[in-house]
């Protein structure tokens, strides 16, 4: 009896570390599958593929979004020949694994036994999973930020200067984060910091105005911000308390090297609430503080609720019973494939997908400040953000206005646009 009881206890005792390793393996398998589903759920990843294609064709650099990310976009020009999203997505997944590995250097006091659970905390954040499996610049930028802070802490000043310079051409605001951090952490680096500061400043002057703002009048500003906040709330789902916890903890970060990137990231995120990824440096700062202060016995107490929230929210399961990140990205790739083969017999204007359908830009002509695209040699047009007057003008010209259908039947993947005004 005693032997049987001992046997059962021995084999039923699952440690936090073993559970974490199992979940990490599941996450990695899921992430690997996501890398095969288009450039990403964010249409900006598809815009970056367009920019990379134009660079590859010798048309020069035209930033895809906001202030541009030339270091990553020029790299994509080599990584994405002929719609090769698996290569660039796979590279980001490798960078994500390296990012998780390098977290050890920020928290050297964390025991080996409890590093896997803490790494998994970041994996369970949808914002991290999406960045790790798409062709966006977030992971390269976050890794540059992390490696810069590690170099700063280890007094590798030359490496820090080079990484700070590279960060400015990946996400320009990160150079500001690093400069402010260095001035408070090591003021003697002021002269060295002039190099990345001047180069990033020149780039910002050159790139300003190349992409239009998301609003054109003062009246549109509150509508825009209300829409973005509602989008962020829906996107976070049940993970909203987790995001807010990590962001708020960044305000309590006392480490002089870690507090400034978190606080400045939060400042910019409040002014530009476009994506949760914009606030990730704040989440990182808050997460590191949480890691350092949590007791070992509390690790599982944090990990399990986070896992439950991820499972219930849109991170893992959608109404179809499949992972939502997977179904969303697969649906976007499905739309692209069908639209690419679409050959209407009359003039047709699709009012969806203008940010990702013309990824193979050679086949498309663009106009109206990149809001209207025409597939050469066809009757197929695609547009976004057209005004009511512009829509009426297309109707008068005999165009049929179309939207993507939610019907899974391939015969009915398009539907007539019936609304009186565009979204």
The helix/strand/coil state of 107 is coil
In this predicted model, what pLDDT tens digit does every residue of 189-230 receive, in sequence order? Answer: 888 899 999 999 999 999 888 877 777 778 888 888 999 999
Residue ranges of the domains in the chain?
15-312, 342-416
Which residues sit opposite 381 in a β-bridge? 349, 374
For 102, the token pair is 């390098």
Any idea which residue has 């270091």 for tokens? 71
Q: What is the pLDDT of residues 68-105, one digit of tens each?
A: 899 999 999 999 988 999 999 999 999 999 999 998 88
The Cα–Cα gap between 169 and 68 comes to 8
* Cα distances (Å, whole numbers) of residue 96 to 90, 122, 133, 284: 10, 10, 9, 14
CA-CA distance, 300 to 297, in Å (whole number)?
7
First to last CA, the chain: 70
Residue in the structure block whose two tokens are 């994996």: 123
Is residue 113's pLDDT more than 70?
no
Q: What is the pLDDT of residue 90?
A: 96
What is the C-alpha separation between 294 and 301, in angstroms, rounded? 10
Mean of per-residue pLDDT scores for the chain: 85
Cβ(189)–Cβ(182) below 8 Å? yes
Going by C-alpha positions, the residue among 342, 345, 347 that lies closest to residue 358 is 342
Taking the C-alpha atoms of residue 337 and residue 345, their distance in angstroms, rounded to an integer, is 19
Kindly list the distances between the CA atom of residue 159 and the CA atoms of 50, 94, 142, in Å, as whole numbers in the listed order. Answer: 32, 21, 16
pTM for this predicted structure? 0.89
The two tokens of residue 246 are 């990590």
User: Which pLDDT value is given to residue 163?
Assistant: 95
Residue with tokens 């928290």: 107
Q: In this structure, are strands 380-383 and 348-350 parallel, antiparallel, or unpaired?
A: parallel
């Amino acid at each position: 009896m005693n032997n049987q009881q001992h046997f059962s206890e021995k084999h039923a005792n699952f440690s936090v570390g073993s559970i974490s390793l199992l979940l990490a393996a599941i996450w990695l398998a899921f992430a690997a599958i996501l890398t095969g589903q288009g450039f990403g759920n964010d249409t900006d990843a598809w815009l970056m593929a367009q920019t990379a294609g134009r660079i590859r064709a010798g048309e020069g650099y035209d930033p895809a979004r906001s202030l541009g990310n030339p270091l990553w976009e020029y790299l994509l020009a080599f990584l994405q020949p002929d719609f090769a999203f698996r290569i660039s997505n796979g590279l980001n997944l490798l960078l994500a694994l390296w990012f998780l590995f390098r977290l050890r250097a920020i928290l050297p006091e964390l025991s080996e036994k409890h590093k896997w659970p803490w790494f998994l905390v970041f994996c369970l954040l949808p914002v991290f999973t999406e960045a790790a499996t798409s062709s966006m610049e977030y992971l390269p930028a976050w890794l540059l930020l992390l490696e810069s802070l590690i170099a700063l802490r280890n007094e590798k000043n030359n490496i820090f200067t080079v990484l700070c310079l590279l960060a400015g051409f990946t996400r320009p605001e990160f150079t500001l984060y690093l400069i402010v951090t260095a001035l408070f952490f090591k003021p003697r680096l002021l002269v060295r910091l002039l190099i990345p500061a001047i180069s990033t400043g020149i780039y910002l002057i050159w790139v300003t105005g190349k992409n239009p703002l998301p609003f054109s009048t003062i009246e549109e500003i509150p509508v825009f911000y209300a829409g973005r906040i509602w989008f962020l709330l829906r996107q976070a789902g049940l993970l909203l308390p987790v995001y807010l916890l990590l962001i708020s903890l960044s305000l309590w970060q006392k480490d002089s090297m870690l507090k400034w990137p978190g606080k400045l990231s939060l400042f910019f995120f409040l002014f530009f609430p476009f994506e949760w990824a914009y606030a990730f440096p704040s989440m990182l700062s808050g997460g590191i503080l949480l890691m350092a202060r949590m007791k070992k016995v509390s690790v599982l107490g944090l990990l399990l609720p986070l896992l439950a929230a991820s499972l219930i929210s849109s991170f893992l399961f959608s109404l179809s019973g499949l992972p939502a990140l997977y179904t969303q990205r697969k649906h976007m790739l499905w739309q692209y494939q069908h639209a690419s083969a679409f050959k209407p017999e009359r003039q047709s204007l699709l009012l969806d997908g203008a940010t990702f359908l013309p990824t193979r830009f050679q086949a498309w002509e663009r106009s109206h400040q990149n809001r209207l695209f025409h597939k050469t040699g066809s009757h197929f047009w695609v547009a976004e953000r057209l005004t009511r007057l512009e829509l009426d003008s297309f109707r008068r010209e005999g165009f049929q206005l179309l939207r993507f259908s939610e019907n899974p039947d391939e015969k009915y993947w398009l539907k007539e646009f019936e609304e009186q005004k565009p979204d």
